[in-house]
Structure 1
Amino acid sequence: MNEEERLAQAVSRTQVLRHPKQTLATFGVTNISYYLLTRPVYAQENEPETVVRMGRVIANRPRIVTPYYLSRLDGFSADAKRYFQKLIETQGADAPGIYYTYRNEPQSTDIISNGLEDVLSKLNAEIDARNDPLAAIIQGEDTLWDVSLMKFIFDLTSASLGGNLADFHSRGLLGIKEGVPVDARLNIEDMFRRLKEGSIKPHELQQELERWGLFEAYQDRFLSAFRR
């Protein structure tokens, strides 16, 4: 089995045994606790052991971006850059879309001497007892457990997209003004506020302005933040 087939198999065998009761928030951070259950790769047929990986997926506030903005982000390969350029050619540089970012925070890995069904029952009881609406239980492959986690994140994002779009639309944030979404301009204003408070560094705001091609438009205001 080659690598592509292994990945496809891991995705096909991923099951969400307990879904979060809420989708991703439109105007805030979503903090999802997960339990990823796998059968140890070394386990014999009759050995009732389960690996439990606990962690959190932090979904940042979704943002409205355009193909132009994506083409100026760092950390993407040349192939990805070509794809962004294709989007610009086919959809237009200013076509709005939702950009999701995540952070995985693994917390612990335990090997339990019980079968998956017993572990699942206990975890469900614990989650119910603490009334956690953003907890998820996922069954995946032991050697490719992070692929199973990514599959879960992708499906949760897909389920959240419609509601997030409706929320942005209802507040008029999908509108484009001079090539920049209304939501992005509001984010820039918020970054100026946070810069004044000292909660972000100047280079963070400068980088955001440059990604939108707006540094010259805001340059005087940006520099005035450093004048006494």
Structure 2
Amino acid sequence: MNIDDERIREAVKQTEILRPPKRSLATFGTTNIYYYLVTEPVYSELIKTAAETVIREGRVIAERPKIVTPFYLSRLEGFSLEARQYFDGLIKNYGSNAPGLFYTYKNEAKELSIVSDNLLAVVAKLNDDIDRRGDPLTSIIRGQDELWDVSLMKFIYEMTQSSLPDNISQLETRGLLDVDSSGIPADTRIRINELFNMVARGEFEPSELKKELDRWGLFEEYEDRFFAIFKKGR
């Protein structure tokens, strides 16, 4: 294990989710979680002055979980050879059409402030403020200053892990994880229809729709409908 791996391992170990969200990630919509990530300043061990705490604020935006299969993942761009070997292993172990959930996130960093108070006191004040606002989707994370983004990633991972059973249960109840004879989940068929409608309204690029159809190996099936979009535009 190299030095960077050891630093990351230590940052993960030191990360604590002091206040998790009170709701799971939404199954059928976007989830917007505000976070306070508190750390002791990286210079605190070098400069023995009055206690200070660094507060980083931001939003983690979780898009609606997407149902995918190992076949679909194997056709995504931008992955290394090792990642593709992993996808091949999924296909061998579970079959090319076994449905799973794919989560995507965006982090929007907001503010960074340094407060002249110890970390526990700062956390107590933040908790009081959140309680007064009654916001169920605000979290507090304790992390390591130098690798604060690693702490944020641990938070995202744990949030995903805790939401997964509920998300799967809701999708199964609606039959959206059912796979048809072509190996396509029911939710994907619905999503493709939505994308066609979005393209027709000018809200989605035809080229992106084409890529999505190709990833599922469905362009030939939807080819006539795809080219009909351009005929209507004449």
Identity, % of aligned positions: 52
Aligned residue among 144, 149, 163 for 1:141: 144
2:86 maps to 1:75? no
The CA deviation at 1:121 is 1.6
For 2:204, the equivalent position in structure 1 comes to: 200
2:122 maps to 1:114? no
For 2:29, the equivalent position in structure 1 comes to: 28
Q: Any idea what the Cα deviations from partners look like across 1:102-123, whole Å, max 9, x if unmatched?
A: 0111111111111112211221
Tell me the SS of whatever aligns to 2:231. coil
The CA deviation at 1:77 is 1.2
The CA deviation at 1:24 is 0.4
2:119 maps to 1:123? no
Looking at structure 2, the residues matched to 216 and 138 of structure 1 have their Cα atoms a distance apart, in angstroms, of 48
TM-score when normalising by structure 2: 0.95
For 2:166, the equivalent position in structure 1 comes to: 163
Tell me the SS of whatever aligns to 2:225. helix
2:217 maps to 1:216? no
For 2:153, the equivalent position in structure 1 comes to: 150
Structure 1 range deviating more: 12-21 or 36-45: 36-45
Structure 1 range deviating more: 142-151 or 111-120: 111-120
Number of equivalences? 228
- Structure 2 residue ranges without an equivalent (≥5): none
Looking at structure 2, the residues matched to 54 and 77 of structure 1 have their Cα atoms a distance apart, in angstroms, of 32
- Structure 2 counterparts to residues 95-114 of structure 1, below 5 A: 95-114=98-117
2:43 maps to 1:42? yes
TM-score when normalising by structure 1: 0.97
Cα-Cα RMSD: 1.1
Tell me the SS of whatever aligns to 2:140. strand
- Structure 1 residue ranges without an equivalent (≥5): none
For 1:187, the equivalent position in structure 2 comes to: 191
For 2:178, the equivalent position in structure 1 comes to: 175
For 1:2, the equivalent position in structure 2 comes to: 3
The CA deviation at 1:93 is 0.5
Q: Any idea what the Cα deviations from partners look like across 1:6-64, whole Å, max 9, x if unmatched?
A: 11111111001111110101000000000000000112345310110000000000011
Q: Which amino acid aligns with 2:198?
A: R
